[in-house]
Amino acid sequence: MSSIDITTPLHPTADQKRAVWPAMRRGLAGKCPNCGTGKLFHKYLKVNDTCSHCNEELFHQRADDAPPYFTIFIVGHIVVAAMLIVEKMYHPEIWIHMALWVPMTIVLSFWILQPLKGATIGLQWANRMHGFDGEDVADGQIPQN
């Protein structure tokens, strides 16, 4: 099984198929899904309009509600499972549950949200969705339905 270089641009020509998993891994790392070098975000969840390294247009992304839904799904499974295990084994007071699980939920949510948004953008880029194909959007405008 060959390894994939995450620093080589994934689409040298516009008509070639883009690799999904490397693009998602690059997005997960907060890097441009094309080159893997430039930053994807310039604030916590604010995506750069273009990559500073390869000039790939990133403003097309429409991650919208997918990253929060994935975050809720993942964090919910982690916290609820841990809460049930602790309750079953130790039977702590309710204030201990509150002291443990509320901060854990908040920290995990903030920790997971940005990488999931990056992976979602990488998926959209690899599948040429929402203007990443260069045909749907002209002059940076969202097409009217």
Q: pLDDT at position 40, please? A: 97
Taken in order 83, 89, 94, 96, is the CA torsion positive or negative?
negative
- Which of 3-7, 14-18, 51-55, 77-81 comes out lowest in average pLDDT? 3-7
Each residue of 64-99: pLDDT tens digit?
999 999 999 999 999 999 999 999 999 999 999 999
Query: What are the CA-CA distances from residue 40 to residues 27, 99, 105, 119 (Å)?
Result: 7, 34, 25, 10
